[in-house]
Structures are given as C-alpha cells and as structure tokens.
Amino acid sequence: MNDTSRPLAGRVALVTGSGRNVGAAIAMHLSRAGAAVAVNGHRDTEALQRIEDRLRERGGQACVAIGNVGKSAEVDRMVRHIEETLGSIDIVVSNAAIRPMHALLDITDEDWNRVIATNLSASFFLARRTLPGMLRNKWGRFIHISGLDGFTGHMPLRAHNVACKAGVVALAKAIAREFGGQGITANTVAPGAIDTERDWSQYAHFDIDEVLKDIPVSRLGTVDDVAQACVYLSTDAASFVSGQTIHVNGGQYMF
C-alpha cells in the first residue's frame, strides 16, 4: 500500500455500469492506481469484455460481473463471483443508472419503480452485501455517483432520476455515520456537464456555447475528471473524507 504510483495495490473494486463513458473511465483509473477491478453491466457483455481486456492488457487484474444491480438476488450472485475471482470487495463505485424521459404526470408506477431500483436501491443492495467483508477487514470505500440535478432539481422530464440522485447522497451520509469508526468511508461524486456520447446525443439541440456560459471554467467536463475524483476518494489519502460530496462541474454549482 506504500507505492504512491499505485495507492490501491491489493484492493478490489467493483464499478457498476462500467461498460462505457464515466463508468469505464472509473474502472480504468482505479486499475491504473493498482486495484483489481470488477466491471459490471446488465446487457452489453461485449463492451464489458472489451474493458476487461484493456485492463488486463495493461497488467491489471479484472473480471466481468454481469448482473442487474437493481435486483438484490443478482447483486448477491455477482458479489459471490467477484469474491471467488478477485477477493473480498474493498471499494464499491455505484455508477449504474437508467435515465428514461417522462413528464412527471406521465410517470407510471412501473416507470418509477424501475428507475428507483437501478438508480437508488442498487446502492443499498451493494452496501448490504459488501459491508460484512469490509467490516472484517476494517477498511472500505463507498462512492455513489450522483449529479448536478440531485442538488438543483433541474433535469427536465426526469423527476424519478432527480429523486434518486438526491437519495444516494443521503444514503452515503447514513453509511458514513454508522460505519465511520470502522475504517469505512462513504462519499458521493456529483458530475455536472460531462462530455460523453450518452449525455450529449440526447441534447443535440442544445447550443453548447449557452451551456458553457454557466460553467466558470468554460469547458465541459471529461470522464477522466470524474474518474480522478473517484480514485482520490478510494485511497488512504481520503481517510478523513466521509459523508461528503465532491462536485465535478467546473464551478457550475456552488454552495
């Protein structure tokens, strides 16, 4: 653990929703920092396999853990596979999310429950399943990926997602309080406008210059900006940082 170039050597990390974009970048950066990394997704097995191959090609330990993190039984199965393949999980980055668009009055019970399961309940299922191992080892890290909308409430046609983004912040605080004396921290990373294929393909009608006017650093964020915040929170250097949110938004949101 003393190699400053690989501060996560000997640690095992799970990154959910890591087949592409922010999740893939987090997996790559954690691996570069020395962690063995389990990449997760529900459907796109080819993308996950490509990420695993890239991690291994760079000398890292990795495995693919297919499963729907919004279902507790699948989380249990997935975690068992990771434990058998890489070892006890030390770091959980809860990034998986679905983002359907519905006007609030058009959201059905099924729509609501599906988003809540993946975007909020999954973080609870993961914590419940991995905490026993962390408690045995007296070390653990939970990092929930929230978003600017979880603090501003502004995400048109996505009230269900906004509720979840705020919920994972509160859940991280609850974990931080209950388990803080046992070597376990829980934090949230809240990205702002990040330049990813998934995000901007939906907003092609936006004027990018208008978006940038609201960002003091005058650029979009990158997936690496988000990933580097996650690496920091995973290390011993962040052992006194818990129950907090790191806003990665170029100054777009200040409080």
Superfamily of domain 12-248: NAD(P)-binding Rossmann-like Domain (3.40.50.720)
The pTM score is: 0.94
Among 173, 140, 193, smallest CA distance to 244 is for 173
What pLDDT does 1 receive? 46
Report phi then psi at 2, rounded to 5: -90, -5
* Chain centroid to CA 6: 21
Residue range 83-132, pLDDT digits in tens: 999 999 999 999 999 999 999 999 999 999 999 999 999 999 999 999 99
What's the mean per-residue pLDDT of the chain?
94
Question: CA-to-CA distance for 39 and 36, rounded, in angstroms?
Answer: 10
What pLDDT does 131 receive? 99
> Per-residue DSSP letters for 162-199?
HHHHHHHHHHHHHHHHHHGGGTEEEEEEEE-SB--HHH
Question: CA-to-CA distance for 20 and 72, rounded, in angstroms?
Answer: 23
Return the domain boundaries, the chain. Answer: 12-248
Q: Where are the alpha helices (DSSP H) in the chain?
A: 21-32, 45-57, 72-85, 109-116, 122-137, 149-152, 159-179, 197-201, 208-213, 223-234
* Residue ranges of the chain with per-residue pLDDT less than 50: 1
What pLDDT does 204 receive? 57
Cβ-based neighbours of 132, under 8 Å, separated by 6 or more: none
